[in-house]
Structure 1
Amino acid sequence: MLTLSSLGGAGTVTGSKHLLSHDGRRILIDCGLFQGLKNLRELNWAQLPVEASSIDAVILTHAHLDHSGYLPKLVRDGFRGPIFATAATKDVSELILMDSAHLQEKDAEYANRKGYSKHKPALALYGVADAERALSQFRPVSFDKPVKLPGGATATYRHAGHILGAATVDIEWAGRRVVFSGDLGRYDDPMLPDPVAVPEADYVIVESTYGNRVHEAGDPTEMLRAIIERTVRRGGTLLIPAFAVGRAQSMLYHLWKLKTAGRLPDVPVFLDSPMAIDATELLHTHSADHRLPPEVCDDICAVATYTRDVEGSKAITASRYPKIVISASGMATGGRVLHHLKADAPSPKNTILFGGFQAAGTRGRALVQGAQEIKIHGEWIPVRAEIAELPMLSAHADSNELMRWLSGFRKRPNRVFIVHGEDEASEALRVRIDRELGWEATTPRQDQVFEL
């Protein structure tokens, strides 16, 4: 008997972990970190309902922290099996997991030194050594070529768009064909390939981040120009919290378009995120996984001044001259962007621009919902800066695009499971699937077990 249970990513957009089990063997699809609301973050410290050592393999759809960030903890707890991922996902995961481990160690040390944590002492969920062990267990796979998994299963990876290396995964096991969407990207994205249609499946597990929304139409490059110009006229700084992998490169692309057209105001542009810098450079390494010609990659990478060292980052923060700063993390949950927010949020001259989904419980969500102050490093910071959004720059497919991908199946699956979405978004997508496709769709609860 083949069973499916969601150990994360059920009723929330974070912590994606979906477990397939058959005849005593277990395969985990994605292994993400919970982020956002405190009650979700606390789940990172809870024991999984299965022993880590009992999992035979992990299938990684892509490298974002909410899909990969629990891997070092899984390894720390005893997982010793292979981690299958595309070559680009392997490289991006190295950046993300090492950065996550470093930040967790650093945040624990900072909290202990400043004394603002309720935990005595504050501890890191995992450390750099755990991330290194996890990375040693990666096994790179190719797109569109079946790979054998433990227990007699096979998996086929197909392009999903979203970020570099992202894939949907088609798993055949125990006479069943189960397809996981991972996170689907946008159609007609200027940088990344369209999500590839999958011909058939017995069961589909689909994300629903934007299951209740359609992205606003309009030219994001032109909208970005307008935001830059009004900020510069005020003598302010445009701060862009951006995911180091995906949004940072997209922002550089649109800035490059403005510069090429002679429409970018004459202010310095900084990419202040070592991980985003490294991720941008991976565009050259994995040129087959995106649409950009090599010469365009060169030009995009040259738009910004890269800042790797801490002193350089502090100099950017201290400067009161108009400028554009792209810094991670994209939901303002950690990283260097927090120091920029502390400096820039209190001034009405400045603008803070979000271009991606902001999960519940994050500073990003609070800001786009109009928070008048935010807490950073134990200190409440007033927010007087303009808060702007460009939701069409999201790396996630919207409701129409999710339906477009689902419509690519040539025959009706037995059931669709809707995951990786807040309750309203998942329910809206379930209703659309029922109304427009006539398919049975279910929104799983955390740890609920289904027989396939």
Structure 2
Amino acid sequence: MTAAPALSDHDSRLKVPPSIDFLGGVGTVTGSKFLVRSGDSRVLVDCGLFQGLAPLRRRNWQRPPVDVTELDAVVLTHAHLDHCGYLPVLVREGWRGPVYVTPGTAALVEIVLRDSAHLLMEEAAHANTHGWSKHRPALPLYDDRDAERALSCLRVVDFGTPTTIAEGVELEFGEAGHILGSAWARLELGGRSAVFSGDMGRQAHRLLAPPRARPECDVLVMESTYGAREHRDEGASDELAELITSTVAGGGSVLIPAFAVDRTEVLLIELAKLMRAGAIPEVPVLVDSPMALASLRVYRRAIGERWAEIRSDLAGGDPFAVPNLQELRTVEESMRANHPRMPSIVISASGMASGGRVLHHLTHLLPDRRNTVVIVGFAAAGTRARQLVDGATQLKIHGRYVPVRARVGVLEGFSAHADSDELVAWANSAASAPGTTFLVHGEPAASAELARRLGVELGWNAVVPRDGEHVVV
């Protein structure tokens, strides 16, 4: 009897079924990283920064959780920092391979990574000058050279265009409706398939068309940011109008920490609508974020060129044309916004108040009872925005405690994330259920509740993975 030929190491690896390692975005809404193995190929889906609680932020400084010498490709679902902001760290460690993105993500990632590097370098310099960091000297996580090298790796793939990105791995992007360029990513893995939702958008986004239906797949990896909550869209405009009107009547200003990409654009559309209707006074609107202004140019171009992601009813005109709009670009202009000459609306990044110019505005505006701070997006645990939502009476900013005397308003109706009902509906939009659904990118209670709903309402096998867990597709 002739013995069967021995399998080579290469042949043995090809027979190993595809798998996923959960390296971030588990038990938290930040740091999304999912390593897909298929045969000899290694693909990282998303490459996000951890934000919020100090133990999470410290993970950004640890050795990368992937061996960059074995990685074949990176796929980014969209341009928010918690999905793309770690990419320059990979590059600093030697990564020079392809990073696959949609056209909109390519345009926005360029803005986001350059701004992130600038802020990290600026924050380190500020800490060294003013002595508020325990590190001597304080260093940035990465610098502008790392960001530029990361941008040189981008490879653009159009929506709905299957593309081979590694041996035995095919990628297809579909519109996710969260921000411009946002996508779900389908990976074909040698006879098995996995879909990664990225961040899912709303059915009624003020700028973007609804998400494209989920494709058939064996495994679904889905976000669960609002897995335990439904948005209260009704009355959100009225609540914002009341906060602005009453604050201005009392001689105060309104500060809105807002994500520079998409949330600022949504707010400008809403403010323009309210002013046209006479629902709020035509006070100055100050947009103080270079990144927000750069992304605003991309959104205007997308509307002008009628990109397919943009809602059809926005064709023509400038929906961001707010009366008395002031675009603050220089540091000197930003500093003047700390003490508005008259009641004003200040929109500044970052949305979670984890960094950026908004910290200086909070320092100066929070102690005055006449002012109002409005939180309009998801606030992760450990961020200053979350502390304000939870009723903090002081915030620690640049090493000093700032008293919170200003009114704090919380509006969920402006979220760009799908809520629990919308997530369940999107998951169920394909003809058949996946074999297993993994709930990620959510705080523990939110992920657990969405898993429960998928199990009870749809009869699905829904799991909340552990951080670092390895599963077979």
Q: Which interval holds the TM-score relative to the shorter structure?
A: over 0.9
Residue 315 of structure 1 deviates from its aligned partner by 1.3
Is 2:306 aligned against 1:290?
no
1:392 maps to which residue? 413
- For residue 167 of structure 2, give the secondary structure of its aligned residue in structure 1: helix
Return 365-374 or 290-299, whichever deviates more: 290-299
Aligned 1:324-335 pairs, distance under 5 A: 324-335=345-356
2:337 partner amino acid: I
Deviations 1:308-363 (CA, angstroms, capped at 9, x unpaired): 11111111212252110000000001111111001100011000001100000000
* Whole-angstrom CA distance in 1 between matches of 2:285 and 2:176: 30
On the 8 A contact 1:155/1:169 being kept in 2, the answer is yes
2:227 partner amino acid: G
Residue 96 of structure 1 deviates from its aligned partner by 0.6
Is 2:260 aligned against 1:239?
no
Is 2:51 aligned against 1:35?
yes
2:20 maps to which residue? 4
Deviations 1:43-78 (CA, angstroms, capped at 9, x unpaired): 001113331222110110000000000000011111
Residue 219 of structure 1 deviates from its aligned partner by 3.4
CA-based RMSD of the aligned residues comes to: 1.3
Which residue of 367, 373, 389 maps to 1:368? 389
1:216 maps to which residue? 232
* Whole-angstrom CA distance in 2 between matches of 1:156 and 1:303: 43
2:356 partner amino acid: G
Percent identity, aligned pairs only?
A: 48
Aligned 1:33-432 pairs, distance under 5 A: 33-287=49-303, 288=307, 289-291=309-311, 293-297=314-318, 299-300=320-321, 304-432=325-453
* Whole-angstrom CA distance in 2 between matches of 1:425 and 1:397: 13
Residue 147 of structure 1 deviates from its aligned partner by 1.4
TM-score, length-normalised on structure 1?
0.98
Aligned 1:424-443 pairs, distance under 5 A: 424-443=445-464
- For residue 7 of structure 1, give the secondary structure of its aligned residue in structure 2: strand
Between structures 1 and 2, the one with greater helix share: 1
Which residue of 14, 17, 33 maps to 2:33? 17
On the 8 A contact 1:252/1:303 being kept in 2, the answer is no
- For residue 61 of structure 1, give the secondary structure of its aligned residue in structure 2: coil
* Whole-angstrom CA distance in 2 between matches of 1:199 and 1:446: 26
* Whole-angstrom CA distance in 2 between matches of 1:211 and 1:320: 42
Deviations 1:377-432 (CA, angstroms, capped at 9, x unpaired): 11100000000011111111110010010110211211001100000000000100
Residue 173 of structure 1 deviates from its aligned partner by 1.1
* Whole-angstrom CA distance in 1 between matches of 2:453 and 2:261: 31
On the 8 A contact 2:282/2:324 being kept in 1, the answer is no
On the 8 A contact 1:220/1:393 being kept in 2, the answer is yes
* Whole-angstrom CA distance in 2 between matches of 1:205 and 1:92: 24
Return 345-354 or 104-113, whichever deviates more: 104-113
Residue 165 of structure 1 deviates from its aligned partner by 0.7
1:229 partner amino acid: T
- For residue 139 of structure 1, give the secondary structure of its aligned residue in structure 2: strand
* Whole-angstrom CA distance in 2 between matches of 1:151 and 1:183: 27
2:431 partner amino acid: R
Return 260-269 or 68-77, whichever deviates more: 260-269
* Whole-angstrom CA distance in 2 between matches of 1:333 and 1:217: 26
2:10 maps to which residue? none
Deviations 1:226-281 (CA, angstroms, capped at 9, x unpaired): 11101111110000000000111110010011122233303111111111011111
- For residue 305 of structure 1, give the secondary structure of its aligned residue in structure 2: strand
On the 8 A contact 2:187/2:194 being kept in 1, the answer is yes
On the 8 A contact 1:221/1:255 being kept in 2, the answer is no
* Whole-angstrom CA distance in 1 between matches of 2:158 and 2:20: 25
Uncovered stretches (5+) of structure 2, i.e. residues with no partner:
1-16
Gap change, CA 1:303 and 1:443, over 3 Å in 2: farther
Return 370-379 or 320-329, whichever deviates more: 320-329
On the 8 A contact 1:160/1:168 being kept in 2, the answer is yes
Residue 282 of structure 1 deviates from its aligned partner by 0.6
Gap change, CA 1:85 and 1:303, over 3 Å in 2: farther
TM-score, length-normalised on structure 2?
0.93
* Whole-angstrom CA distance in 2 between matches of 1:302 and 1:284: 17
Residue 303 of structure 1 deviates from its aligned partner by 6.0
Q: How many residues were matched structurally?
A: 452
Gap change, CA 1:302 and 1:155, over 3 Å in 2: farther
Residue 194 of structure 1 deviates from its aligned partner by 0.6
